[in-house]
Each structure stands twice: as structure tokens, then as C-alpha cells.
Structure 1
């Protein structure tokens, strides 16, 4: 039987101390030695120094002190994965250096024996569980799709997906790329762009072939406000929500529409992110590209409302009150105000045009809720679904105030048990993006009042500044990110016969008709809203705002 020994962090003796040198503060903590995945399982000779833990391992596995998920210890995690394990406890003798009695725990997982040593039986059992979890993680790297074995046991991928973290190194690459681009834009026009004047800003980054060193920023945005009710428009000329994350996603829509137009014109260069799908029906995002979102602060709503009030000491510290009713509720932003309130506390669940025009305060769903929706429906929205499958965020990176528990709940976890009752059909899924914290950027945020301006920049385009309260450019012209602009781009592609997944080819239609004709998207959205009901009502804009046509000035 193959044996993989576990060495407790408190017991680990590196080569220096083995030669009698005094322990210093610089001695690195270490847990169980781990062979390379390609060599598993193999014995770990005691004569060899413990190998370095692979960097692809999540932080909670590389540091057992962080190995707590929703209050679950490594022991609980392993028992959930492999129920019925038998642990064998014994005394390991007195440690030569600490003169303290040591305990040893053994367990056999998938035919491999693991050992853990600690100052108590509990510590030894924790260490052996960490060692087994590391082995299982490495054994399944790269992680395959979720499968079920002959014993009906979920694959390790299903478990690990719930604790998905992006490495600090990769998070820093993404954050630094966005900050560098923002500094570059500031140098071009200091009167328009200045990083410190933005309370919230976001960036969208493309990574090709997992090369984070060469990641490319394709969009940057800022903003903390949304449109006044009296400024709403029935022809789609206004941007309704100008919060940074929302503007960044709309900038992505612009980027995709532009690439689809270039593809239609015969451009097949490498920098175009779309290609024909092999099945020949429509197009798709190229496999080598992944999309990553950076935000300098947690998104408003469920992710932000608890991160400071709980005063958690560590990013990974579990939520002390996960079952409080206020956790996970859908929340709305209120016109002419800052912050959010639960949708259930709202005085109006169904917004109407005449009601808002008559003085009711307009409400918009929080950014946390919209991020959660993107993890079901994708970034692309209903119109682009005619041309490409759903596009999901590979990661969300925060520049400050990061807490893994609150972010995971806000963008994914709160909907997980409910989505099981509302099955999604392909190509839609309940997607969990990796979550990351950037440490390479230093943000100083004091109390300040947000201004009404919103900025967006798109790769290959100039900076555009809009008034968030009117949803238009400061000059009064429509924004390139408004519904009308996108609908004209959509009709141009339809009129020029760009291949679609849906077979839609109706040029003479309204905006709402084009959206409704994306049947799979419509059904997935219905399932999403059904799953959300226990979290509160999803409050949408007045339906009259989507009943426009706007075929004027379309290039045919």
C-alpha cells in the first residue's frame, strides 16, 4: 500500500533546524509533502525534503489555518466527500525538539494511506484530512467536468467548485492591468479621468490561453448613480444604470457587437474574439479567451452591506451569522440616494411608467443581484444570444474590502439550493466564477460624496463621459451604451444575414419582440426569477421602456 506521510505545521522541521540551527520567524510554515500530480500515488521518502506545494492549489489547502468553509473543518470536508472513513489514532512519541507528546492519525482514501501528526488527536486528524484533500485535488488537476462514479459519489470537482478562489498572483495581474490602463487614460486627459476622483470603478480584462502576464484590458468604467425617473426614455436613448460594474458589462456588449460587425465584413484576425461555431449554426467566443471583471470595491447590495459591519479579521473567516434572515436578500438602489434596501421592504414591487412619472421613486436592482444574474444568464444579454452562446465571467477580482464568504454568497451561493429546483437547460448553467483579492494595488478611500458623472472607455474607442442622472452624454447626445444603439447594431447584423443560433431573421420588429424571440434565454430568465422569489421580488423597470423600434439610420 502506498503511504503519503503528513507532517504537521507545528512539527515541521526544515533542513536548517535539523542541523541544530535555532528556529527563526522566517521559517516557512509547511504541511504535508505533496508529489506532483503526474506521479501520484508514490511514496514520499523521509530522506527527501518536502516538495513545494503547487501554486494552483487554493489558498485554503496551501494554508490549513485558512481551511474553514462556512464553519466546516477539513475533517468535515473530507467526510462529506468520502463518507464512512475509518481513522486510526495512536501515540507518536515525544517530539525531540518541543518535548511534547505527539499523536498520529491514519486514514485510507481511495486505496492510499495518509498519516497526520499533531499535538492533539484533533490536530493530527485535521492534518491527515488536509493531506487527503490535497491529494484528491491534485489527482483531479486539471479538474474534469462533474461526474458521478459507480457508488453515486460526486466527483471532487463538484465539491471544490464551491470554494473556488483565484490565486493572489493572477488577481494582481488583473488588478494591475486595470490600474495601469486607468493611469494611462488619466495622463491623456486629466480633466476627464483621474483615478482618485472615482469612488467606484471597474475594468473588464481578456486573458488568452491562461497567460495572465499578457492580459488585455478591453473596458474601464466608473459610476455610482442611475437615471432619474423623470429622465426615462421610451425610445431606448438613455442608459438606466450607471454603476461602474453595469457600465463595464455594457461596454463588453459594445465590444462584442463591434467584433461581430468586423466578422461580418470578413475580418478574421486573431484579435477578434468571435469565430464560427464548428456546428455551423452561429458564432461563439473563441475557446482561448476568458473574461475577468475587476472592481475596486465590493458591488453594492448583498456583497457590500455586510463586509464592514461584521468586522471579520480574515478574508476567509466564516460568516458568524450565516442564517440571519437579512443574509442574501435581493436589494434595490433608490433614486436620488446611496446604498440599497431589501426588495421585500420596497413600497412597490411592480414599477409602472405613469407611476414613476407621477412621482414614485425609481428603483434599480443592486449590482450584487445583477452579478448573480449574469452567473445564470451570461454577460451577453438576450439580443446577443441570437448570435453567440452565453459568456460567463471566469473571475471577479476586488481591490479592497474583500471577504470571500460574503462575495460567494452574493454572486452564487444564495441561489444554489433554489436553482436545483429550477433546472436550467444547456447552454445555460449556474456558474461560479473564481473570486480573487488583489494585493498589488493600494486604494485610499475617505468619506466623499459621489458625483453624477460616469465614464466608460473601450479598447479602440475614445473615452465617453455621461451624466448618470440623465443617462446621456454630458452634451445631451445618446450614449454608445444605450439600448437603442445596441438594437440598431443588432438589426444591422440581422439584415446582413449574420448566422444565428435561433434562426431569427425578422428585421421589422420591436426591441421587446427581438428579446422575446430568444426562447432559451427567456426560459432561463424565467427559471432564475422563480428561484429568486424566496430572496425577494425582482423589481424591473416599467415594461413600456422596451416597446420601441428605432430602425432609423441603420447601415444596411
Structure 2
């Protein structure tokens, strides 16, 4: 029906066919790619049609102090998040077509009045060119491998500790000096390996403890000159949780929620591993669209491009942490997507950029732009930098022209157009007879979604940080 390599090739070709704007400069800049693929089975179910409906690139996040109370700036521009937000934009238009009596590629009427369901034979895949940052990136090394995420820097002072540890996507860091470890490059090496690491050979876990409290214990093998090293992530444990030990080989805790690093300050953006785990329970459609849907929309599979990868770590980060969640409301479930890896590498990643680099080009750096493309009828391409549309002047910041089309406020306004286009007799019950004005109001009114989110927090992610309400009160 389809293979991981077919999915990767489809995404890479789609990226290549996009305009040049926002793409990394060859030999000097690199980026990451993620995409959502719509699968549609043929009538005889012998073939499947594959279509990229959302694609994103990006590596950066903004700090907490730069966040907007008007919802007009992109807080998290990692490729995985960009791709998912673009897909929400696509699904909103598909629902608009459905309620307006037009043909939708995705939705058909559900059994409940005002509700819609995904058509039979339609499903979604998620592709990412690299192992998601956070928990999925933490696994033992085999041989002389480069880190998939930026190694943790030696802590020089309390001040540097407060500033946090930046991921490779933010800056190049010094090699960790604590403990005895195999020497690795401070950037993505061209000597990449795919496939599983024999994690169970060198890890002892306390099976009876909460996954968020698990600590990695590496047991050096006697016959080796040096003990095995651990791939590390620049994402720090969320506030109020136990910190990583950062002692010798016991560097990171397994299963911990992690916050992405920003430009010199802490962000409020959870790691992509954490967000993918959340989507596996709540669906990736978000709270607003759940008003219209009989059940959440889950990813059938997650495909990772050729990169440093460990299947056990992916399973732990995306599935195991939520596997014991119970008492979810009707329609919600702990969905376990198939996890696969492609043998095809993204041509614009760090490895390929390094191979094309010349000394006259200066330092290799992550691309500052983030590209969003989705299969919508108007303005499918959206390129941003620092959370705003690329190229806007300082004078234009805060105006409509500066907003990304996948910012919170723009997605909210698209949802309000969907509500306005819905006949009163077909309006979902959760939106009837209520005085809803702000983004916060509409999210909270999605009762079943909020119940599911409460259960997920209580049972799996009790330390998941809540966004300050004042950042969600825009209209």
C-alpha cells in the first residue's frame, strides 16, 4: 500500500517544488522538515492515494517575554509544530466546505446532529525528517555517533544555568566536559546510523515507578575501553520537576516533560516528543475543531527520515508514557500510531549542508525562516521569521500584515468563519446558547476535549505547564 521511503520521497519532492522563499542557503544553512500526508484508499482498497496536505520547516522558538497577548505571533516554529498547525488550517477549510454543502475530501456527516466524521478509507500520516526533540532523542550511543540534538553544555555559572541550554537549532554548543565520554562532533556528523540501539542491554529501569521519574543507568561493559555515551537533548525538564542529574553518564531522566530552549531565555513550548504524545490521546485537530467532530483525528503512523534514531526511545516517548491513561470521554482513546523509519535522508539537513560548506561561507547555522504550506484554496504558502511573516518591517509588527496565517488568532478567525457558515439547525450543541467571545471561551466550551485533557494531565503529565490565561483572551 505504502512504504516509509515512499512517504519520505513524497515530502522531499513537495518541498523541492515550493518557491525559494524561506529555504536554507545551500552550504551555509540547514533546517528540519515535517509533513502531514492524507491517505485515501481506492474503492477496491488495493491502492492508496497519497497527498501532502501540510508541510512545515523550522528550528526555532521565541522566549516567554516575546509572546503576544493577541495571539498574533508563532511561539513554536519547529517543523513538527508548523506542519500540524498547517493541517489544522487545512481541516478547518475542509469542514467549511462540508457545512456549506460543498464536497470535502475528508469529512462526511456523522450520526449526531451538527457533528462530522472522517470518511471511510481516509487516514493521516505524520512525517518528520529527524527524531523529535525531547524524550525521543534520548538513547544510548553505539560507536562514534554525533548527537541528534545539541549536547548539554558544561554549567559555567548559576547565571548560565538560568538561561538554559540551547538546542543545536539555536547555536553551537561546547562539548560536554563532565564525566568520561566518547568524543563527538558538536554538530550533526555525516557518519549517521539508523536502526535500533540495543537499549535494554545498557539500561535498567524501575518498572514500578512513574515513567516521568525514570532515570537512565548506563552500565559500562568491562571489555570496552570507554563506557557507552548517551545522546543528549538541549530541552530542559519543565519547571517544578526534578532536574536531570547531569552527573557522569546519568544525564537525563526518561519520560520527563521538557521545554524547548529559546534565544537566551526559557520558552513555554513543550518538546515535539511531548506534543506528539499529547496528540496521540487528544487528537491533532485541537480543541476548536473538536466541537464539530464525533471523534478526534489521530495519526495512523509516524514516519521518521534517515537520522540518528532509536525505536525503543520513540515508543517510550510517543506511546508508553500515555499507555495507562483511562476513563477518557466518548470518542477519545489512547491511540498508538505505527512508528516507522525511512532510509532516505532530508537533503537540507545539517549533514548535507556540512558536506557542501566552504570556508568562505562563514559559520553553518540553522535557517532563520519557517515555511508553512497547506492544501488550502487561498494563500497556501506562509513564510515566517521570529514568529512573524518574513520581511515585515518593525513598523508593521502588530498589524494584520505581519501575522502568520497559522498563528493562534488567524486560526481562531478561520474557525469563527466556519461557525458563521453553519446553519443554526446544524450548529454543534457545545456551541449553542452560550455567550462565547474569546479564544479561551471557545476552547473551554469544548467539554469532551477538556475532559480528555484533564485525564491525560492527571494520569500521565501532571507537570505539563499551563499557558497563562492572559495569553488566550484575545477575540
Give the TM bin, normalised by the shorter chain: 0.5 to 0.7
Partner of 1:398: 304
Q: Deviation at 1:253? A: 0.5
Cα distance change of structure 1 residues 212 and 227 upon mapping to structure 2, 3 Å threshold: farther
CA contact 1:298–1:398 (8 Å) conserved in 2: yes
2:235 corresponds to 1:340: yes
1:362 is paired with a residue of what secondary structure? strand
Deviations 1:440-468 (A, max 9, x none): 4465633643233211111244421111x
Q: Deviation at 1:216? A: 0.5
2:55 corresponds to 1:223: no
Deviations 1:271-304 (A, max 9, x none): x211111343411221221100110110000001
Which of 424, 431, 436 is equivalent to 2:340? 436
Which of 387, 392, 400 is equivalent to 1:470? 387
Tell which structure's C-alpha radius of gyration is larger: 1
Once residues 194 and 8 of structure 2 are traced to their aligned partners in structure 1, the CA distance between those partners, rounded to angstroms, is: 23
Once residues 79 and 115 of structure 2 are traced to their aligned partners in structure 1, the CA distance between those partners, rounded to angstroms, is: 31
CA contact 2:61–2:267 (8 Å) conserved in 1: no
2:323 is paired with a residue of what secondary structure? helix
Deviations 1:398-424 (A, max 9, x none): 00223211111110112223x1xx421
Partner of 2:40: 208
2:406 is paired with a residue of what secondary structure? coil
Which of 258, 278, 297 is equivalent to 2:93? 258
TM-score, with structure 1 as normaliser: 0.58
Which of 116, 119, 130 is equivalent to 1:286? 119
Q: Deviation at 1:248? A: 0.6
Which of 412, 434, 438 is equivalent to 1:487? 412
Once residues 206 and 121 of structure 2 are traced to their aligned partners in structure 1, the CA distance between those partners, rounded to angstroms, is: 42
Cα distance change of structure 1 residues 232 and 324 upon mapping to structure 2, 3 Å threshold: same
Cα distance change of structure 1 residues 314 and 456 upon mapping to structure 2, 3 Å threshold: closer
Once residues 211 and 306 of structure 1 are traced to their aligned partners in structure 2, the CA distance between those partners, rounded to angstroms, is: 38
2:53 corresponds to 1:190: no
Once residues 368 and 486 of structure 1 are traced to their aligned partners in structure 2, the CA distance between those partners, rounded to angstroms, is: 23
Which of 410, 413, 425 is equivalent to 2:317? 410
Which of 329, 332, 354 is equivalent to 1:425? 329
Cα distance change of structure 1 residues 397 and 194 upon mapping to structure 2, 3 Å threshold: same
Higher alpha-carbon deviation: 504-513 or 392-401 = 504-513
2:130 is paired with a residue of what secondary structure? coil
CA contact 2:106–2:119 (8 Å) conserved in 1: yes
Partner of 1:519: 447
Q: Deviation at 1:195? A: 9.1
Cα distance change of structure 1 residues 454 and 212 upon mapping to structure 2, 3 Å threshold: farther
Partner of 1:247: 82
Deviations 1:58-93 (A, max 9, x none): xxxxxxxxxxxxxxxxxxxxxxxxxxxxxxxxxxxx
Q: Deviation at 1:246? A: 0.7
Q: Deviation at 1:362? A: 2.7
Partner of 2:465: 539
1:216 is paired with a residue of what secondary structure? strand
Deviations 1:482-502 (A, max 9, x none): 111121122222233353444
Cα distance change of structure 1 residues 251 and 314 upon mapping to structure 2, 3 Å threshold: closer
Kindly report the root-mean-square deviation, in angstroms, between the aligned alpha carbons of the 2 structures.
Answer: 3.2
Q: Deviation at 1:324? A: 6.7
Q: Deviation at 1:322? A: 5.2
Q: Deviation at 1:171? A: 1.2
- The count of corresponding residues between Structure 1 and Structure 2 is 356
Deviations 1:319-339 (A, max 9, x none): 3315179995499xxxxxx82
Once residues 404 and 195 of structure 1 are traced to their aligned partners in structure 2, the CA distance between those partners, rounded to angstroms, is: 32
TM-score, with structure 2 as normaliser: 0.68
Q: Which runs of 5+ in 1 are unaligned?
A: 1-166, 332-337, 348-355, 550-556
Cα distance change of structure 1 residues 323 and 449 upon mapping to structure 2, 3 Å threshold: farther
Deviations 1:145-195 (A, max 9, x none): xxxxxxxxxxxxxxxxxxxxxx9x52122111101111212xxx3343359
Structure 2 matches for 1:450-461, cutoff 5 A? Answer: 450-460=366-376, 461=379
